[in-house]
């Protein structure tokens, strides 16, 4: 094999690795973005005075286009709940394993 072929193969492998790494990072980033979006919207509704023009404008945004943004928020919320349930399941399984290990009788060393 020529050195050029080996070098180009290594470059392709490195490029694919970086692409996969970026995709994994982007998936995490999207989830974090959704959490930030929900937090910002919640904060806006919490801190804007009930009769202020800013709050009324914010509410109007959620009413326009046949409640399109409300549907999107509900979708984001449901996705977040699914991720939370999955994480809770993993945590509970780890606790069960940990508890089953700690419940085993231990042998004393002489």
Residue 104 has pLDDT above 70, yes or no: no
Both tokens of residue 19? 């692409």
* Per-residue pLDDT reduced to its tens digit, 45-64: 999 999 999 999 999 999 99
* Per-residue pLDDT reduced to its tens digit, 12-31: 666 565 666 666 666 567 77
Q: What pLDDT sits at residue 5?
A: 45
Q: What pLDDT sits at residue 35?
A: 84
Kindly list the domain boundaries of the chain, sorted by start residue: 1-47, 50-103
Alpha-helical segments (H) within the chain: 3-47, 53-103
Residues 6+ apart with CB under 8 A from 82: none
Mean confidence (pLDDT) of the chain = 80
Region at 2 (left for phi over 0; alpha for psi -120 to 50; beta for the rest): beta
């Amino acid at each position: 094999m020529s050195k050029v072929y080996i070098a180009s193969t290594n470059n392709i492998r490195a490029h694919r690795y970086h692409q996969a790494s970026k995709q994994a990072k982007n998936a995490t980033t999207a989830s974090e973005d959704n959490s930030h979006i929900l937090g910002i919207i919640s904060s806006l509704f919490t801190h804007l005075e009930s009769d202020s023009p800013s709050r009324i404008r914010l509410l109007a945004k959620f009413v326009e286009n046949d409640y399109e943004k409300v549907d999107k928020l509900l979708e984001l919320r449901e996705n977040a709940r699914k991720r939370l349930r999955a994480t809770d399941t993993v945590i509970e399984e780890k606790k069960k394993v940990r508890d089953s290990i700690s419940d085993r009788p231990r042998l004393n060393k002489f």
